[in-house]
Amino acid sequence: MMLNKILHTIFLCSLLFISNHASADIYSDIQSLVKQNKLNEALKLADEGISREQSDIKLNFIKGLILTRMDRLGDAEQVFVQLTKDNPELPEPYNNLAVVYAAQGKYNQAEDALKSAINTHPSYATAHENLGDIYAKMASRAYNQALELDTGNTTARAKLSLVNELISEPQPQSAPVAVETPKPVQQKKPVVVTEPELIVIPAKEKPKTEPPVAKADAEAAPGASAAEDELANTRQAVEDTVNDWANAWSAQDVAGYLSFYAREFIPPKNLSREAWEVDRQVRLKKPAYIKITLSNIKINIHGSEYAEVRFNQRYQSNTYGDQVRKELLMRKVDDKWLITQERVR
């Protein structure tokens, strides 16, 4: 499946539930200037509006988009960082901050920003897809490094070719691509959308009491509960796999332990897969006993094939003991969740 090209994303057109303090005219005027590519004038008008009402989130958000369009990424970053601090419950500023980070090659920061967006709205499909793109970019960087260290590594070269195909430049489009947005927590009255590249923010309204019929329809709506059940089942399957991995380690079952690692798993310390497996066999068999205890397990599901798992890991044996915070990146292969990356945080 072709991944979304995050570095060429048409910036977010979605709903945010905030107050509009400025008049509707200023938004329309800015939008018109952006359509004409008069970005300096649009930025000046946005700054004038912000000077009158600094807390107008819509104007600040639009300013961030304009700065991004102008390739003033450092300034855009500052705007979106402040928006996330002032409005931590909104996913959209985190998403656009991630786009700005990625454009600067700051993939770790982009990853963290997208995770924050997903934490605020787990059903935010755009952030999930963008996170997949970030992982693809990070994989590309790792494979390039592997080839620099070993130019004859044909396996790394083949993987790099595949990843580069996934994140290759998109073809120019005559019309913007529609961006899926999360379902709002509360239904609001939206403003008419006329320019997909600018955020559209409806006026804030007091929550209205839904009539009994509408409430009954909402409760009877299929899909929502099914999707939640599927997500819960996926999380449980991932957690069961991680526990089975830890149990195989504790049992010093080398074959069982190694079976939890995907073919594309990259061993640490520039080891080959064969050398890493020999090292793991020695480390599992040498102690008289091993006990692995996992706690505080946190699982994020990304699409239908990827998962990220963080947990506290306590290792005990007759010769050594430690406790670390670990992260596993996992991929579903033939109905089995396998480890593709393993790192200590």
Residues 199 and 329 in one domain: no
Residues 26 and 62 in one domain: yes
Q: Are 301 and 118 in contact (CB under 8 A)?
A: no
Q: Has residue 313 been placed in a domain?
A: yes
Q: Has residue 215 been placed in a domain?
A: no
The alpha carbon of 160 is separated from its chain's Cα centroid by a whole number of angstroms, namely: 21
Residues 42 and 109 in one domain: yes
Q: Has residue 104 been placed in a domain?
A: yes
Residues 34 and 126 in one domain: yes
Residues 248 and 331 in one domain: yes
Residues 242 and 272 in one domain: yes
Q: Has residue 212 been placed in a domain?
A: no
Q: Has residue 158 been placed in a domain?
A: yes
Mean pLDDT by 10 residues, the chain (345 residues): 40 40 71 87 89 82 88 90 88 86 83 85 74 73 65 61 47 33 37 33 40 43 69 93 96 95 86 91 94 94 88 92 91 92 84
Give the residue from 140, 174, 204 where a domain finishes: 204
Helix-strand-coil percent breakdown of the chain, rounded to 5? 50, 15, 35
292: domain CATH number is 3.10.450.50
In whole angstroms, what is the distance from residue 258 CA to residue 29 CA? 61
Q: What is the pLDDT of residue 101?
A: 86
Residues 241 and 138 in one domain: no
108: domain CATH number is 1.25.40.10
Q: What is the domain count for the chain? A: 2
Q: Has residue 134 been placed in a domain?
A: yes
Global pTM value:
0.43
Q: What is the pLDDT of residue 168?
A: 47
Q: Has residue 1 been placed in a domain?
A: no
Residues 189 and 77 in one domain: yes
Q: Has residue 258 been placed in a domain?
A: yes
Domain span at 48? 6-204
Residue 93 is inside which H or E element, if any? helix 91-103
